[in-house]
């Protein structure tokens, strides 16, 4: 069954300071436990100055090893939600959280797992590491890049796991303050003979692009993005024809919060952009096809997704789309956020 992003309230039962600018929030959902796989994320809804904002954060817990449900959030300069969570959330407070989503998960294999993290990108990698250590015999190596020693996240947790699983987990820490930014040569040196490993990459966009291009061909690469998609992904989107296009025809109809609005269809415009043009306030977060916050169902017509890292094949077959990536390819289309 598809999983529309319904939100439920959860109580913050504990807050753990992981580094100078990262906090782990232990959550107790009110209605029911949130089922999830290691490596997935949840979307959070907060109200700031009367406006609903949505952000997606990975779980640092793993269902196979942790009784508590946790997410880890790094304070981002100018980040409205991350700063609000750090400055305003205290133990006993409540926050709205959606069901888990994402494909940054373990596959059924015994090949080595190599993880590459930049800053808070270690959060889903910790979850994956816990799960893989507990449920497989895989060998795991992590290359973690951090700004400086004060910024290192999960230093103690990873050291304890390495001690508990000797010979199976190796963690290498790279500090930009001591050695400059991690480069492609260091990545290739870290990979070494494990070319056929599963490579999991999460961090700031420049870091991820560098690692993706540096990892030798042969293994399987999994990337988790919460920001702007890589330029090469954007370049793959259709480009407008050189000739002057004919004026578009047809309509885009949006159903949201029991309201229905229609606007003339514009060539190349996503459903999310159409909804905004209609004066509506649809939910969204990453705008990169990764988080499913903007998920809605096409009830008539059809749209093509420029990028999809969140919806399953069955959800796509049922008509669900990521409205931030969905461009209508029929004259008229109706999409329902309900």
Measured in Å, how far apart are the chain's first and last C-alpha atoms? 15
Separation CA 224–CA 111 (nearest Å): 20
pLDDT at residue 190 greater than cutoff 90:
yes
- DSSP classification of residue 32: S
Q: What is the pTM of this model?
A: 0.76
pLDDT at residue 294 greater than cutoff 50:
yes
Q: Do 71 and 120 share a domain, yes or no? A: no
Lowest mean pLDDT among 74-78, 178-182, 214-218, 283-287: 283-287
Question: Average pLDDT, stretch 94-106?
Answer: 91
pLDDT at residue 15 greater than cutoff 90:
yes
Q: Is residue 291 part of a domain?
A: yes
pLDDT for res 39:
96
Q: Do 172 and 201 share a domain, yes or no? A: yes
Highest-confidence segment of 38-47, 126-135, 272-281: 126-135
Q: Show Cβ contacts of residue 291 under 8 Å, excluding neighbours closer than 6 positions.
A: 41, 43, 56, 101, 102, 226, 285, 310
pLDDT band at 247, cuts 50/70/90?
A: low
Q: Do 131 and 221 share a domain, yes or no? A: yes
Q: Do 123 and 220 share a domain, yes or no? A: yes
pLDDT for res 243:
47
Which two three-digit tokens encode residue 299?
């009830």
Residue that the structure tokens 């230093």 belong to: 155
Of 214, 145, 142, the C-alpha closest to 180 is 145
Q: Show Cβ contacts of residue 310 under 8 Å, excluding neighbours closer than 6 positions.
A: 101, 102, 103, 289, 290, 291, 292, 295, 322
Phi, psi of 31 (to 5 degrees): -80, -50
pLDDT band at 236, cuts 50/70/90?
A: very low
Separation CA 58–CA 39 (nearest Å): 7
Q: Is residue 332 part of a domain?
A: yes
Q: Is residue 174 part of a domain?
A: yes
Q: Is residue 104 part of a domain?
A: no
pLDDT at residue 242 greater than cutoff 90:
no
Per the document, the length of the chain is 338
Domain that holds residue 285: 251-336
Indicate which CATH number applies to the domain containing 302: 3.10.20.30
pLDDT band at 228, cuts 50/70/90?
A: very low
Q: Is residue 237 part of a domain?
A: no
HSE, side-chain direction, 13 A CA sphere, residue 259: 10
**Domains of the chain: total:** 3
pLDDT for res 114:
98
Indicate which CATH number applies to the domain containing 29: 2.40.30.10
CA 3 to chain centre: 16
Q: Is residue 255 part of a domain?
A: yes
Burial of 257 (0-12, 13-18, 19+ CB in 10 A): exposed
Q: Show Cβ contacts of residue 198 under 8 Å, excluding neighbours closer than 6 positions.
A: 107, 109, 111, 112, 113, 114, 219, 220, 222
């Amino acid at each position: 069954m598809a999983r529309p992003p319904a939100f439920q309230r959860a109580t913050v039962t504990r807050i753990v300071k992981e580094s100078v600018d990262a906090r782990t929030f232990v959550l107790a959902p009110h209605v029911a436990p949130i089922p999830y796989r290691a490596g997935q994320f949840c979307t959070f809804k907060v109200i700031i100055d009367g406006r609903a904002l949505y952000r997606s954060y990975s779980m640092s817990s793993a269902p196979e090893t942790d009784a508590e449900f946790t997410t880890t959030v790094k304070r981002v300069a100018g980040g409205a939600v991350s700063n609000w969570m750090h400055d305003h959330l205290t133990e006993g407070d409540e926050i709205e959280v959606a069901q888990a989503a994402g494909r940054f998960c373990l596959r059924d294999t015994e090949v080595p797992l190599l993880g590459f993290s930049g800053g808070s990108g270690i959060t889903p990698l910790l979850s994956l590491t816990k799960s893989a250590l507990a449920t497989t015999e895989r060998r795991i190596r992590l290359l973690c890049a951090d700004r400086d020693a004060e910024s290192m996240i999960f230093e103690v947790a990873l050291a304890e796991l390495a001690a508990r699983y000797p010979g199976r987990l190796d963690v290498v820490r790279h500090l930009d303050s001591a050695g400059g930014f991690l480069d492609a040569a260091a990545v290739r040196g870290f990979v070494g003979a494990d070319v056929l490993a599963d490579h999991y990459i999460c961090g700031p966009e420049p870091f991820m692009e560098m690692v993706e291009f540096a990892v030798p061909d042969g293994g399987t690469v999994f990337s988790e993005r919460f920001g702007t998609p890589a330029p090469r992904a954007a370049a793959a989107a259709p480009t407008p024809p050189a000739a002057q296009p004919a004026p578009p025809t047809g309509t885009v109809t949006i159903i949201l919060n029991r309201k229905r609005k229609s606007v003339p269809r514009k060539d190349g415009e996503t459903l999310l952009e159409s909804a905004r043009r209609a004066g509506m306030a649809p939910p969204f977060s990453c705008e990169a096809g990764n988080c499913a916050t903007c998920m809605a169902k096409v009830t008539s017509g059809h749209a093509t997704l420029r990028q999809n890292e969140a919806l399953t094949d069955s959800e796509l077959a049922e008509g669900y789309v990521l409205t931030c990536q969905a461009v209508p390819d029929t004259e008229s289309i109706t999409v329902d956020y309900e």
